[in-house]
Amino acid sequence: MTETPLTKSRVAIIGSGNIGTDLMIKVIRLSETLEVVAMAGIDAGSDGLARARRLGVATTHEGVEGLVKLDAFADVAIVLDATSAKAHKHNAAVLAPYGKRLVDLTPAAIGPYVVPPVNLDEHLDAPDVNMVTCGGQATVPIVAAVSRVAPVRYAEIVASIASKSAGPGTRANIDEFTETTSRALEVVGGAARGKAIIVLNPAEPPLVMRDTVYCVVGDCDEEAVRTSVEKMVDEVAAYVPGYRLKQQVQIRPLDSGDPLTDLAGGEGHLVSVFLEVEGAAHYLPAYAGNLDIMTSAALRVAERLALR
């Protein structure tokens, strides 16, 4: 039987930048189970805090310390942190005595990694769940899909995002992005070894997020691999409508001259998947698919926690 809350669960958002603001708008427009009652930032003049006030959301520009002082905080069940990896460690420590559930949209990775179509229900009791990174949310599902039908010896992903969609938090977290995403390819995706690369594309006009996923496998049923990947793409697209394959899944045997052959332990196959993520443009333009997939995934997780 599906669990249905009698009233909406109240949430607070820390971070009034691009991601936090987009997340607030998504909750207000799309969620039947969540209600944003508070937003905390550190810039009193930020557009996010101004929008929140216009929408009737309690605000503070004093960060997490100001959040816990708001009257609305008492009824908050879930706090979504859209700041930075360093800031989340501080925020989690301040919030620990209050018993709130935390959804971490930074690469801090204090809590377990959660990628909705892969392991959404495995960590519902964790006090702090981590949403990996935008690249992780886009590519870990694909690696997991391949892993379900063929052991992945090595997975490498390249996430290319528009430079204009990379705010201060994203730029400050480049090292954490690669480390967290690489680890999630292994822990959640099932790869024996993972590597992640991010590219900030300065092209004008800005291009939508594009992700390339390479999986080195041994012998495999090519049709089973393609079917598994296509099914996973449909599952992600159910909550990120702009998520899609750019072309059919490519599978080819590795030869002795291929640098990936050693990673395959000799003979093997290379599975190549090319993705595109277009944003829903709730707050930023459609090219910011990297923001959209993070906030959409976080919304999915927070709603499941609320039902819990």
- Here the CATH number for the domain that contains residue 99 is 3.40.50.720
Tell whether 207 is covered by a domain.
yes
Query: Which residues, in sequence order, are CB contacts of 174 under 8 Å at separation 6+?
Result: 198
For 102-106, 185-189, 229-233, 263-267, which range has the lowest pLDDT when averaged over its residues? 263-267
* 165 marked among binding-site residues: yes
Look over the chain and give the mean of its residue pLDDT values, rounded to a whole number. 94
Q: How many domains does the chain have?
A: 2
Q: Is the pLDDT of residue 4 over 60?
A: no
Name the token pair of 269. Answer: 């196959």
Average pLDDT over residues 265-276: 89
The first and second tokens of residue 15, run together, are 């971070």
Contact 260, 173 (CB under 8 A): no
* Predicted local confidence at residue 68, as pLDDT: 98
Task: Check whether residue 199 and residue 269 sit in a common domain.
Answer: yes
- Which of these, 175, 161, 192, lies nearest to 294 by C-alpha position? 161
Distance CA 287, CA 200 (A): 13
Residue type, 200: L
Question: Using an 8 Å Cβ cutoff, are 40 and 63 in contact?
Answer: yes
Q: Is residue 56 part of a domain?
A: yes
Residue 30 lies in a domain: yes
Is residue 135 annotated as involved in ligand binding? no
Domain shared by 125 and 140, yes or no: no
User: Which residues face 58 on adjacent strands?
Assistant: 38
The residue length of the chain stands at: 308
Distance CA 161, CA 260 (A): 25
The answer to whether 166 is a known ligand-binding residue is yes
Q: Would you say 167 is a known binding-site residue?
A: yes
In a domain, 1, yes or no: no
Q: Are residues 109 and 156 in the same domain?
A: no
Nearest Cα to Cα of residue 51 among 25, 27, 15, 72: 25
Task: Check the annotation: does 58 bind a ligand.
Answer: no
Report the relative pairing of strands 194-201 and 152-162 from DSSP bridges: parallel
The mean pLDDT value for 95-110 works out to: 96
pLDDT at 6 over 60: no
Q: Which residues contact 205 (CB under 8 A, 6 or more apart)?
A: 287
Strand, coil or helix: 23: helix
Task: Please check whether residues 170 and 99 belong to one and the same domain.
Answer: no
Q: What angle do CA 8, 14, 284 make, to 5 degrees?
A: 90
User: Residues 93, 138: one domain?
Assistant: no
Per-residue pLDDT band at 169 (split at 50, 70, 90): confident
Of 83, 57, 89, the closest CA to residue 70 belongs to: 57
> What is the model's pLDDT at position 176?
87
Question: For the domain that residue 185 is a member of, what is the CATH number?
Answer: 3.30.360.10
Q: Is residue 172 part of a domain?
A: yes
Mean of pLDDT values over 165-181: 85
Does residue 119 sit in the same domain as residue 21?
yes
Is a pLDDT exceeding 90 seen at residue 187?
A: yes
Closest CA to 147 of 108, 105, 188: 188
Active site residues: 134
Query: Of 88, 199, 208, 185, which is closest to residue 137 (Cα–Cα)?
Result: 185
- 5 falls in which pLDDT band (50, 70, 90)? very low
Q: What's 96's DSSP letter?
A: G
Closest CA relative to residue 126, chosen from 106, 108, 105, 100: 100
Does residue 297 lie within any of the structural domains?
yes
Identify whether residues 65 and 46 lie together within a single domain.
yes
Residue 10 CA, distance from chain mean position: 21
pLDDT value at position 27? 98
Cβ neighbours of residue 231 closer than 8 Å, sequence gap 6 or more: 145
Indicate whether 265 pLDDT > 70.
no
Percent of residues, the chain, with pLDDT higher than 70: 97
Inside any domain, residue 4: no
Q: Is 268 helix (H, G, I), strand (E, B) or coil?
A: coil
Residue 222: partners with Cβ closer than 8 Å, 6 or more residues away: 251, 269
Do 106 and 26 lie in one domain? The reply is yes
Q: Is 81 among the domain residues?
A: yes
Domain that holds residue 70: 9-131+292-307
Q: Please tell me whether 18 is known to bind a ligand.
A: yes
Q: Can you read off the two tokens belonging to residue 38?
A: 């508070």
**Do 207 and 85 fall within a single domain?**
no
pLDDT of residue 1: 43
